[in-house]
Amino acid sequence: MIGVGATLMLLASYYGPGLHGNLTASGTRFDSNASTAAHKSLPFGTELRVCYVGCEVVTITDRGPYVHGRHLDLSEGTARRIGLIHSGIGNVKTTRLN
């Protein structure tokens, strides 16, 4: 488990095309423009500062990613805002905020 204040490099991708409006594992509706992410085990509501070219604070609202070796699935909007949208996958610096 990632403790509060811990900083880790995680392999991230983004999801969203075709999923906008679907229910997430936390029971909320997925908004592909919101500052949200999926992680396999962090509690729902956990906030992470995620940095690639830029940085953004995201809230864990879903489970995943389900691709071997990946640790975090970002919303499409977050990927766009931090500069990950063109590569689609990359190592991001994460810091757990709560």
Put simply, whether the predicted model's pTM sits higher than 0.85 gets the answer: yes
The CATH number of the structural domain formed by 7-96 is: 2.40.40.10
pLDDT at 16 over 80: no
Q: CA-CA distance, 18 to 34, in Å (whole number)?
A: 15
DSSP letters, 33-51, are TSSEEE-SSSPTT-EEEEE
| φ and ψ at residue 82, rounded to 5 degrees | -95, 0
Name the residue ranges covered by the structural domains of the chain. Answer: 7-96
Sign of CA dihedral 58, 47, 71, 39: negative
- pLDDT digits 0-9 by tens, 18-67: 888 889 999 999 999 999 999 999 999 999 999 999 999 999 999 999 99
